[in-house]
Every structure is written in C-alpha cells, then in structure tokens.
Structure 1
C-alpha cells in the first residue's frame, strides 16, 4: 500500500472542501489508489483536524478486550469500518479490518498475538535449548563429522592450489564416469 504524507492528505482534503471535485475524481487526479482513502482522510480531518491526517509514529498497541469491543460495536450497529474507527478515535480504519480478519481466522487468541518477528534473543534461546537436549555422545559425533568435512575440504583445496587445471580435469573425468554408471 502506498504511504501518503500528512501534507499531501491535507492538500487533497482542502481541495475537496472547495467543492469542485468529489472523492473519486480527486483520487483519480492525484493517483490515490482508492477513493475510500480520500473519504477516510476527509472524515479524519472533520473529527481530529489536521492531526488526524498525520501518520502515527508510536505504533500503539491495543488490548484484546478493546479490539473485541470495537468488533462487537461494528457488528451490533452495522457501522462501516470508517465510522467505527471514528467512534473509537482510531485514525487508521484498515487496522479494524485486520483485526476482523484475524478474529475470523483464529478467534480471540489471534487478536493477542504480538506483531512482527520474534526478537533475536528468542532464537538464540531456542538454539541453546536444542544443544542442551543433545547427549554428550551426540555432540562428539557431530563434532567428528564437522572435522571430517573440514579435512576433506582442505585436501581438495590443497590439490586445486597445486595443480588447478589437472584437478579440474580429474573432476570432469570423475563426473562423466559417474554419470555413465547412473544412466545404465
């Protein structure tokens, strides 16, 4: 979704208030994705003033109970998403649409899930738990396997450094002989 600056929104709202163009024509004139954006900006401006057109920087989080109250109000009154947002002093109606979708897909529990990815510290904790679950013998086997791979890699690297053309030729021959065996 495109992000529009508060200054741009205010300019569009002021032009709408002049009464020359409607929501749809203004949206088309300025390349706004949907005329509903212009309608939302207009209603936000009427209720909150120019402050209602500015993007919120604080990423406010709402309780599950608040989200449920908003959804119940919308269902009970049959209000539109925009009108419901204005009723609850929310300047972003699409947030309610997301809450509704989450509620339909996962119930009230889905409304309480935190936004975004888990922090890096959670990943590190999960890795530590996995390592603790491995027995001492499993850890040693894993270390041996890694050391074998490292030695094999270093041998191939040394052979390549000593004679790059000869090494590549041997690898080609080995590849061709293996592919002939697999095709039979």
Structure 2
C-alpha cells in the first residue's frame, strides 16, 4: 500500500470539494488505482478537519472491550469500516479491518496481542519459538485458569452485546465517556 503525504491528501480533498471532479476522476488524474482512499480522506476531513489527515505521533492503544464493541456495532448495523470508524472517532478505518481479521482468526484473545513483531533483545533471540515453549510449560491448572478467563471475557462480551442490541442508542450514550477515555490511553 502506497503512503501518501498529508499535503497530498489535503490537496485531493480540497480539489474534490471544489466540485469539478468526482472520486473516480480524481483517482485517475493522480494515477491512483482506487478512488476509495479519496472517499475516506474526504469523510475523515469533514469529521475531524486537517488533523484527521495527519499521521499520529504516538500509537494509541485500545482495550479489548472497545475493539469488541466496535466490531459488534459494525456487524449489527451493517456499517462500513469507514462509517464505523467515524462513529467511534477513529481516523484510521483500516485498523478496524485488522481487528476484524484478528478476531475471526483467533477470537477475543487475538485482540489483546500487541501489534508488530516482538523485540529481539535478550531472551527473545535465543528462545526460538517462545510461545510454543510457554504453552508446553503451562500446568494443567494454569491451562484451566486461562480457559476460565477467556470464557469470562466471552460471557462479558455477550452480555454487553445483548444490552447493545436491546437499546443501541442508550448503550452508546451510557458508554460514550468510556470510549473516549479508552482511546486516549498512552501506548507503552
């Protein structure tokens, strides 16, 4: 995926807003394969202004529960990734796609994994496949505790999903503050 500068994004948004060219013609004019990026940039700009098009200085971290809430909202309402991101105040809709993929492949536990590759310092260099050795070293009791925790998370998620399905607007209003506080946590 090509990276585009903030200036380029802003120029295309302004050009679109002038009304002379639509998304597809703008994409053709600037030799872009697809017009959907331009559509996304325009929507983000309209909601967040120029700041929405800027690269983030630090990576924001989101709780597993927040990610599950975003995914359940998208599934329940049939909203696109772009519309869901704008609804939750996120400027990067592709992040939702990666959450969705992780959830489909590994369930709620996969949403808690840190992004990127582990550092190669110290033990990590010599451990080969660390995760496999950790799995083997867990006792039966530890495996049961881990499974129990995952089941607790799943039950909690299903309760929240049910509450959301019964009253989506009320649920979102009640938890609006929680979403905003979760999205502003500094990364470690």
- What is the alpha-carbon distance in structure 2 between the residues aligned to residue 30 and residue 83 of structure 1? 25
Match of 2:122?
A: 121
Match of 1:104?
A: 104
Match of 1:151?
A: none
SS in 2 for 1:117: coil
Match of 1:136?
A: none
Where structure 2 has 5 or more consecutive residues not aligned to the other structure, the ranges are 134-188
1:121 deviation in Å? Answer: 2.9
Report the CA distance shift for 1:33/1:57 in structure 2 as closer, same or farther (over 3 A). farther
- What is the alpha-carbon distance in structure 2 between the residues aligned to residue 100 and residue 122 of structure 1? 31
1:125 deviation in Å? Answer: 7.0
Q: TM-score, normalised by structure 1?
A: 0.66
- What is the alpha-carbon distance in structure 1 between the residues aligned to residue 90 and residue 123 of structure 2? 32
- What is the alpha-carbon distance in structure 1 between the residues aligned to residue 123 and residue 22 of structure 2? 50
CA RMSD of aligned residues (A): 1.9
SS in 1 for 2:122: helix
- What is the alpha-carbon distance in structure 1 between the residues aligned to residue 114 and residue 87 of structure 2? 25
Report which of the two structures shows the higher radius of gyration computed on alpha carbons. 1
- What is the alpha-carbon distance in structure 2 between the residues aligned to residue 90 and residue 97 of structure 1? 12
Q: TM-score, normalised by structure 2?
A: 0.65
Match of 2:49?
A: 49
1:117 deviation in Å? Answer: 1.7
Match of 1:39?
A: 39
1:57 deviation in Å? Answer: 2.3
Where structure 1 has 5 or more consecutive residues not aligned to the other structure, the ranges are 131-184
How many equivalent pairs are there?
Answer: 129
The answer to whether structure 1 residue 24 and structure 2 residue 24 are counterparts is: yes
More helix by share: 1
Match of 1:15?
A: 15
1:124 deviation in Å? Answer: 5.0
Report the CA distance shift for 1:39/1:122 in structure 2 as closer, same or farther (over 3 A). farther
Runs of 4+ with >3 A deviation = 124-127
Match of 2:185?
A: none
Structure number with the bigger relative contact order (C-alpha 8 A, sep ≥ 6) is 2
